[in-house]
Amino acid sequence: MKLSFTLNDRPTEVQVDTGDEPLLWILRDTLSLKGTKFGCGKAACGACTLLVDGEAVRSCSYAVKFAEGKSITTIEGLGSEENPHPVQQAWIEEIVPQCGYCQPGFMMATAALLDKIPNPTDDDIDQNIINICRCGTYYRMRKAIHRAAELSRTNPAGK
């Protein structure tokens, strides 16, 4: 079956098998967008987090057929080197990543958080940011999330 959706602001069409395939694999393998990661395939680690109509979704547990007509944003669409999203800018300032594998999922989840709660408390962060980072970069992430909130206030994201 053929599906149409907006992907990082671009109209996109894909041919899929049954439509039950997780969106994650269509993005990574059919469309070669590797930024959204596979960590567990069981919606447990959050490495596959992206935005569907602005809401955080774990794409390993989201059938691609549900993407029909929606607006999908992946890390590749969150921002660019020339025009980084405040979350990405903060992530760079605080030198957050270590191995880097889980980071796109965290950044997407954080973008969703700041969209809903522009000035999150540490508690808000604890409740909403529940992805897993094995390298243990949470400490810097917390700082980066507050910094991103600050950056968003002074310089709202264009997206």
* Range 105-144, binding another protein (CB under 8 A): 107, 109, 112-113, 115-117, 122, 124-142
User: In this structure, what token pair is assigned to residue 77?
Assistant: 């669409």
**146 binds another protein, rule: CB under 8 A:** no
Q: Following DSSP, what letter does each residue of 79-119 receive, concatenated?
A: --SSS--HHHHHHHHTT--SS-SSHHHHHHHHHHHHHH-SS
Q: Beta strand 55-58 with 2-7: parallel, antiparallel or unpaired? A: unpaired
Minimal distance, residue 26 CB to another protein, in Å? 9
**86 binds another protein, rule: CB under 8 A:** no
Residues 89-108 that bind another protein (CB under 8 A): 91-92, 95, 97-104, 107
Nearer to another protein, 12 or 44 (CB): 44
Minimal distance, residue 147 CB to another protein, in Å? 13
| Interior angle at CA 78, CA 133 and CA 158, nearest 5 | 135
**12 binds another protein, rule: CB under 8 A:** no
